[in-house]
Structure 1
């Protein structure tokens, strides 16, 4: 399959997971299934916009007390010719006409002397928002600011799509999870990469398991992984220790992507098990696995999370590299669009560059190309 076809297949393979009502403070990172609207006026009561004296009628004004933020107004009416010392945010009593900031008045013998200007320095109920006003539309990802605005507007709960859960299965007798690798061993680098891509795409990383090159162990892990998506690193080619594709076929999985015309990352794949769980197969080479995670896993998770489909950003790419006839070459580029210096391409180059460019076989120096951002 072409790289663009594989990316589109993953993006379009799933519908958003069911939505549920959740406290807004717990919804950060999830996508709204329904719009959030203001439920109470903002501000909810008349309050002072400045520190100073709240006054009624004409001056000078006799000081009758003090009111601070957090104190109730008490239902009292401020009589003409009187004032209360007031703090910013404190409720303004009925009858008040303005707040005189400290810098615009003076106090002599218990009297406030000054003149109210054109600005009254009182925030009236509903000045910012009235009930029913839109806070965030359906399809919007709940950020910390969206959550704060919803709470301010009285929306304690929101309807949001469930975040897709992901299990990582790292295969290989040579893989270790900690310590310095010995002869013939390598460290697991996939768990951190997949967890980061999952979080960025709006998913929930449920954990990682290290498996030997044993078909029975892999079969058991696939059967017991109770998440929406299972990611398997390694075991994706046709070698003696590569069991995944055969096991998925035996399990009557439906293949959506099985090999992609790209370098690196050709052996990547996407399948659906009969019970609806998705399996994403990543090549065992770390850089190729990163490419596959950005090609298949990230758009799939975005769709499950309810995120609107978006086109990949384009950037003018300059430099030279060896292209892949009949496919795409995926290479690191810097923030200015320059191809990385010639040399071995791996995670180190991707980390230094920060982005990857997807170069078709007819790409030429200075032409635009789709880009992927590394996690």
Structure 2
């Protein structure tokens, strides 16, 4: 699959770490050097942390998604049907046989040859049997799905036939004009497809229905793209994993939320999820040692006193592609290329803000497009929906607003602040509201929220 054209998508910046410093010493005093579009390094110290202030220009929301998609799909693997659910087809699915592969009965009844009444022959044809041919004027009982005997021209439904057991004759008692029509209640060979017909395009997500179609078409295995593997790092000393909020600490909402979102919308396998403390070294070591295709972090994307993500990326020599997006909530999000693994496979990082709704905004902006492209899934057609009421916007930036469908239109929901999840919990989607807002009756794109599904691996 070809990556999306990069019209308007250019590199935002590159971190260059000072190789002379020892990572064990903690964060560098200059936090590495950040260059954006060839600009000079930023050296003015920040007011709260003593680290240099960053002046990264926010990337347009659509362009940020374009940058996230600029990756090739992961390798093609062969999976047995029982293990192929979820990934995208790497090649078109062509029928290996005619469907149906032979003429068969669509009903329980009798296969008949010629005009009635008919002489009853045989004990009946069951599904899976190879029936003997029928002569003109003969009939044989047949089950739904059974192969039609050669010579048979129609199937008389059981409720329309009457058997004279004394004479061994079958009569048509169908109410209506004329004799039984040729081809009646027969599923002809090749009715659904012929051998070689393309049933599904490459990039189609393998659903239960796709597995059934592939099996019917003769497949034992499918060529699919490998699902991207994600490791989730939730940053913050203030986060609790159980119990009530207490002593200035709050519950971690993103640890339970994001794996399902990344799996359901991005098609990823979330194989690791852990809390990381607000210190440079634990974060640096977690990023250095991560082996997943994509590392997703929450928090530490801004320039607060314990926001060490930029410093850690700089020390690792990461290449920064997006550093802030013109979207609310969630604008301090980032996308970076980490140094490759020992086997040469690339690694990428999506940095999400720590506020829950802002993190979801970052996930749909950067993580989901990246993961879908890695998994070989094509871009979904935008869902455009009229507005039942005015949708408030940001003066300059795109806004992602939880909405609910009302009779084919969408209406805004309350509790839509960056730290809130109450509105999102009852939302049908996230409306992409342009700068300035959208008027009642206007049309906006709506991003879907994940449907209930199996729990990802912890």
Question: For the Cα contact (< 8 Å) 1:48–1:92, is it kept in 2?
Answer: yes
Question: For the Cα contact (< 8 Å) 2:79–2:222, is it kept in 1?
Answer: yes
Question: For the Cα contact (< 8 Å) 1:36–1:155, is it kept in 2?
Answer: no
Matches within 5 A, 1:1-375: 1-12=59-70, 14-56=71-113, 59-73=116-130, 76-108=132-164, 109-115=166-172, 117-120=180-183, 121-199=185-263, 200-275=265-340, 276-310=346-380, 312-317=382-387, 318-319=389-390, 321=392, 323-324=394-395, 326-335=396-405, 336-341=409-414, 346-363=420-437, 365-366=439-440, 367-375=442-450
Q: Compared with structure 1, are the counterparts of its residues 219 and 342 closer, same or farther at alpha carbon in structure 2 (3 Å cutoff)?
A: closer
Partner-residue secondary structure (3-state), 2:410? coil
Question: For the Cα contact (< 8 Å) 2:393–2:433, is it kept in 1?
Answer: no
Question: For the Cα contact (< 8 Å) 2:391–2:439, is it kept in 1?
Answer: yes
CA distance in 2, matches of 1:249, 1:128: 57
Residue of structure 1 equivalent to 2:453? none
User: Under a length normalisation based on structure 2, what TM-score does the superposition of the two structures give?
Assistant: 0.74
Q: RMSD value over aligned CA atoms?
A: 2.5
What CA deviation, in whole Å up to 9, does each residue of 1:245-271 have, x standing for no partner? 110111010001111223321211110
Offset at residue 81 of structure 1 (A): 4.6
CA distance in 2, matches of 1:73, 1:358: 59
CA distance in 1, matches of 2:133, 2:432: 69
User: Under a length normalisation based on structure 1, what TM-score does the superposition of the two structures give?
Assistant: 0.89
Partner-residue secondary structure (3-state), 2:325? coil
Offset at residue 79 of structure 1 (A): 4.3
CA distance in 1, matches of 2:397, 2:191: 58
- Gaps in structure 2 of 5+ consecutive residues: 1-58, 173-178, 341-345, 451-458
CA distance in 1, matches of 2:355, 2:258: 14
Q: Compared with structure 1, are the counterparts of its residues 117 and 339 closer, same or farther at alpha carbon in structure 2 (3 Å cutoff)?
A: same
Question: For the Cα contact (< 8 Å) 1:173–1:213, is it kept in 2?
Answer: yes
Question: For the Cα contact (< 8 Å) 1:313–1:370, is it kept in 2?
Answer: yes
Q: Compared with structure 1, are the counterparts of its residues 93 and 285 closer, same or farther at alpha carbon in structure 2 (3 Å cutoff)?
A: same
What CA deviation, in whole Å up to 9, does each residue of 1:271-297 have, x standing for no partner? 001212111111111111111111111
What CA deviation, in whole Å up to 9, does each residue of 1:83-130 have, x standing for no partner? 322211122333434332223321111513325611433334334322
CA distance in 2, matches of 1:61, 1:209: 74
Offset at residue 71 of structure 1 (A): 4.3
CA distance in 2, matches of 1:38, 1:270: 41
- Gaps in structure 1 of 5+ consecutive residues: none
Partner-residue secondary structure (3-state), 1:337? strand
CA distance in 2, matches of 1:62, 1:360: 75
Q: What is the count of residue pairs matched by the alignment?
A: 372
CA distance in 2, matches of 1:133, 1:311: 25
CA distance in 2, matches of 1:125, 1:40: 10
Partner-residue secondary structure (3-state), 2:233? strand
Question: Which deviates more, 354-363 or 39-48?
Answer: 354-363
Question: For the Cα contact (< 8 Å) 1:66–1:86, is it kept in 2?
Answer: no
Q: Compared with structure 1, are the counterparts of its residues 99 and 5 closer, same or farther at alpha carbon in structure 2 (3 Å cutoff)?
A: closer
Offset at residue 311 of structure 1 (A): 5.8
CA distance in 2, matches of 1:122, 1:355: 45
Partner-residue secondary structure (3-state), 2:424? helix
Q: Compared with structure 1, are the counterparts of its residues 184 and 112 closer, same or farther at alpha carbon in structure 2 (3 Å cutoff)?
A: farther
Partner-residue secondary structure (3-state), 2:271? strand
Question: For the Cα contact (< 8 Å) 2:229–2:269, is it kept in 1?
Answer: yes
